[in-house]
Amino acid sequence: MLVLFIPNDVSDNSPELSHALQPYFHVSAGELVLDDSFSRSSSYRLRKVLNRLARPSYLFEFARKMYAEREPRLRVVTQDRLPKEESAIEVTQALYRALSRAAVQHGSQFAVAIGTSDDESVWTDDNSKLNDLTSRANEVMAGFVEREQLRYVNLRPVLKAFSAEHAAILHGCAENGRRGHWTEVAHTVAADALYKFLKPSQAVM
């Protein structure tokens, strides 16, 4: 089992940091507990109604997306965010620990590939727009997998070196502000690095 870790995964595991209407885990007495209380909220019920209205209307869908993106992408890091970030890190690490144990119990190998966020689109940029949690998430995860003695490959320096040498865009495209998932180039570079990482274990032929 190879799990791809993306830096923004950490904040996505926190209802206080992500603000998305979805189920979340939290850690209680060392155990992961699923919280699906979002499904009973008035905000979620309203979103279900709006989604039904948006399906037949491109104009309504456009307005809905503009409203959802009205807040700045990057939130200012303040002291009250720090406990929430630490909680998000705890949940993320607990999830990976549970995944690794489940893989071993079923006779599988477990490994982690550490990727990049779309704030790291081109490494000739100064990356000053990275928020604190996203910018340190890779180092946090690398430290965790080393302590847990899990196999992992860090794709960040590989992609960084390639992008810096070729001024290559790693996420999205120039027309969409370089937002989104990996570009075709980034996928190719990452696939090559993953192949080299997995081949010694005979996980790939």
Q: State the average pLDDT for the chain.
A: 82
> What is the reported pLDDT for 96?
97
pLDDT confidence band for 75 (50 / 70 / 90): very low
Is the pLDDT at 78 greater than 90, yes or no? no
- In sequence order, which residues have a C-beta less than 8 Å from that of residue 64 and are 6 or more positions away? 50, 54
Is the pLDDT at 67 greater than 70, yes or no? no
Between CA 145 and CA 140 the distance in angstroms is 9
Share of the chain above pLDDT 70, in %: 76
- In sequence order, which residues have a C-beta less than 8 Å from that of residue 141 and are 6 or more positions away? 5, 92, 96, 112, 114
> What is the reported pLDDT for 56?
61
Residue scoring higher pLDDT (189 or 83): 189
Tens-digit pLDDT profile for residues 110-158: 999 999 887 776 666 555 455 567 678 888 999 999 999 999 999 999 9
On the CB side of 38, how many CA atoms lie within 13 Å of its CA? 17
Tens-digit pLDDT profile for residues 157-174: 999 899 889 988 888 887
For the ranges 51-65, 151-165, 191-205, the lowest mean pLDDT is seen at 51-65
